Amino acid sequence: MSRNNKMALKQQLLTKIGSVLALLLCTLNIYAQEKPPRPIIIYVNPAQGLSFGAFAQSGSGGTVIISSNGSRSVTGSVIQVNLGFSYSAAIFQVDAEPGTLITISNGPDITLSGSNGGSMSMHIGSSSLGSPFVATAVSPSRTNLTIGGTLTVGTSPANPPGNYSGTFSVTFIQN
* Contact status, residue 51 vs residue 84, Cβ threshold 8 Å: no
Confidence of residue 171 (pLDDT cuts 50, 70, 90): very high
pLDDT for 103 equals: 93
Beta pairing class for 55-66 and 51-52: unpaired
Identity of the residue numbered 58:
S
Each residue of 57-108: pLDDT tens digit? 888 899 999 999 999 999 999 999 988 889 999 999 999 988 899 999 999 9
**In sequence order, which ranges of the chain are alpha helices (DSSP H)?**
3-25
Each residue of 108-165: pLDDT tens digit? 999 999 999 899 999 999 999 999 999 988 888 899 999 999 999 998 888 898 899 9
Between these two residues, 34 and 167, which has the higher pLDDT value?
167
Domain ranges of the chain: 43-174
Between these two residues, 30 and 147, which has the higher pLDDT value?
147
Each residue of 35-60: pLDDT tens digit? 656 677 889 999 999 999 999 888 88
Work out the angle at residue 69's Cα, subtended by the Cα atoms of residues 68 and 75, and round it to the nearest 5 degrees.
Answer: 70
Q: Is the pTM of this model over 0.85?
A: no
